[in-house]
Amino acid sequence: MVNQDPVVVRWDSGKPEANQTLRANLPVADEQASQDAFAQLLAACQPATFGKGGEKVLEESYRKAGKMDASQFSTNFNPYEHGIIDTLAQALVRGEYYPGIRAELYNLNIYSGPSGKFKPHVDTPLSKDQMGSLVVCLPYAYMGGRLAVRHAGREVFFNWATETPTTIEWAAFFSDCEHEVYEVTSGHRLMLTYNLYWANPGPTNMADDLDAINPSSIYFFDALHDLINCPQFLPTGGRLGFTCTHAYPHATNSSARNENIHRTLKGVDMLVYQALKRLTNSVQVTSVLDDEEYQYQQHIWESDDDEEGDDGTNDGEEDEDIATCQTTVYVQKSLATARPVLHHEDLRHYERYPDPAAFTNFQRQKVMWLNWAPDHTYPRELAAAFIAYGNEPTLKAYYSTLGNHCRTQARVGMSDTNSGCVQTFRAH
């Protein structure tokens, strides 16, 4: 990456009586003062040891480098600012669970030519959460000094040697990767090293820890509490939904299977999730399909039905469904394994099918939206494409609102006689 401003390294002079902080800029400017400051930095480094049989040993045939512990210096270089840690969190993500990555500055190492090097080794994890290392090469001229990283019979090289240093280069690898710094033939190879740890992203705590925020400090919580406990509100039970206000990726195979999607909710979506969890103890995040076309088609058949007059009556129940109940299709199971939404001819059958669950993974539910039903103004992802057979086969597609939707189901006993209130919280 190109760094606009110089990287500044500050360190103590090492003479307590002088109480002086020294400073070097990288790249090093041509003028004498800058060159002198850099020479002082080199001089302030200690020979770097390495771990052998539980001991720190100094053996130049194995490791020849200078080092300064993180406790002895500071720098304005911040790998978070440059997006390195975000990139790592995405690139090194661990399977079903999506933790963040935390980087801790460890050392400044200087491999100087000729013969600065570090023979093959793996970095010793300092704790069980440590998952890797990040090395950042600061702009200074050197030759040689390739970094090799090896794993499972594969090897990759990072060669950042240059006579005209302008960029900052970095590499990161898991703790179980063997790596090696080949000999630096000339110049100085300056490296900031960081230990990388798995870290739960902030929202994880909120999704699981209901006490993370005092609920009564949130206006919404009290309002929702009153609403749910109001005897006139959904007296025979119902389902509540909340359309998330942020977008979350959700329709790809991996994300659709993510059982921890609720932990990634942001802002008001997380607050609403928390409130519903606290008040109903049955919240689910789910994808919600765009139902507009379904509703339109349903309306058409019902009009047809009316015209045909199956039984000569129209009790208006279905119309009411369309006109007044904000009904939608939501995805109950993983989108990745879901069957396509059925064509309207089949849906008609499906609506009367004795066991809809056996028929499709998509279920239509009446939902009382706490905010609003999702519509085309929300970012959406393609959820299912399928061939629809009408007069002519056409390709149809269903979209789920882009991001993840939350479904809250809760049964709140409202009186002895009612069946409880099923609530659906939905967000994206």
Ligand X SMILES: O=C(O)CCC(=O)C(=O)O
Positions in the binding site for ligand X (CB under 6 A): 109, 118, 123, 135, 147, 179, 181, 191, 193
- Closer CB to ligand X, 173 or 248, in the complex: 173
Nearest distance from C-beta of residue 12 to ligand X, angstroms: 22
Q: Which amino acid is at 300?
A: I
Q: Kind of pairing, strands 240-242 and 368-369? A: parallel
109 contact, one of Fe ion, ligand X, none, CB 5-8 Å limit per kind: ligand X
279 binds, among Fe ion, ligand X, none (CB under 5 to 8 A by kind): none
Contact 363, 330 (CB under 8 A): yes
Residue facing Fe ion at closest CB distance: 123
Residue 109 or 408: the one with the smaller Cβ distance to ligand X is 109
HEC profile of 57-125: ECCCCCEECEEEEHHHEEECCCCCCCCHHHHHHHHCCCCCCCCEEEEEEEEEEEEECCCEEEEEECCCC
If contact means CB under 5 to 8 A according to the sort of partner, which of ligand X, Fe ion, none does residue 290 touch? none
Site string for Fe ion, 65-104 (x = CB under 5 A): ----------------------------------------
Total site size for Fe ion, rule CB under 5 A: 1
Q: Cβ(118)–Cβ(65) under 8 Å?
A: yes
| Nearest residue to 242 (alpha-carbon basis) of 220, 210, 264, 216 | 220
Q: What one-character DSSP code corresponds to residue 54?
A: T
Residues 121-180 that bind Fe ion (CB under 5 A): 123
Q: Which of Fe ion, ligand X, none sits in contact with 191, Cβ below 5 to 8 A by type?
A: ligand X
Of 124 and 254, the one with the shorter C-beta distance to Fe ion is 124
**Shortest distance in whole angstroms from residue 326 CB to ligand X:** 58
49 vs 297, which CB is nearer to ligand X? 49
C-beta of 193: minimal distance to Fe ion in Å?
7
Preceding amide of 114 cis, omega within 30 = yes
- Cα atoms found within 13 Å of the Cα of residue 15, Cβ hemisphere only: 4
Cα separation of 186 and 179, whole Å? Answer: 21
Pick the closest to residue 342 from 303, 302, 396, 304 (CA basis). 396
CB of 122 to Fe ion, least distance (A): 7
* Residue 337 buriedness (CB in 10 A; 0-12 / 13-18 / 19+): exposed
- Whole-number minimum distance, CB 180 to Fe ion, in Å? 9
| Nearest-approach distance from CB 101 to ligand X, in angstroms | 18
Residue ranges in 110-129 that form contacts with Fe ion under rule CB under 5 A: 123
The H or E element spanning position 39 is helix 32-44
Q: Write out the H or E segment, with its range, that includes residue 300.
A: helix 292-308
What is 203-271 written as a DSSP string?
A: HHHHHH-TTSS-GGGSHHHHHHHHHHT-TTSSTT---EEE--SS----SSHHHHT-TTGGGG--HHHHH
Min separation Cβ 121 and ligand X, Å = 7
* Residue number, 68 or 272, with CB nearest to Fe ion: 68
Q: Which does 147 bind (CB under 5 to 8 A by kind): ligand X, Fe ion, none?
A: ligand X
Q: Tell me how far, at minimum, the Cβ of 134 lies from ligand X, in Å.
A: 10
Cβ contact 230:414 at 8 Å: no
Quick one: 92 or 148, whose CB is closer to ligand X? Answer: 148
Q: Is there binding between residue 302 and Fe ion (CB under 5 A)?
A: no
Query: Please, what is the minimum distance in Å from the beta carbon of residue 172 to ligand X?
Result: 11
Distance CA 166, CA 206 (A): 42
- The site map against Fe ion for 305-344 (x = CB under 5 A) is ----------------------------------------
Distance CA 138, CA 1 (A): 10
181, interface contact from ligand X, Fe ion, none, CB < 5-8 Å by kind? ligand X
CB of 186 to ligand X, least distance (A): 16
Residue 346: both structure tokens together: 């089949």
Which class for 175: exposed (0-12), middle (13-18), buried (19 or more C-beta within 10 A)? middle
Q: CB-wise, 177 or 383, nearer to ligand X?
A: 177
Residue 135 interaction partner, one of ligand X, Fe ion, none, beta carbon < 5-8 Å per kind:
ligand X
200 binds, among ligand X, Fe ion, none (CB under 5 to 8 A by kind): none
Residues that bind Fe ion (CB under 5 A): 123
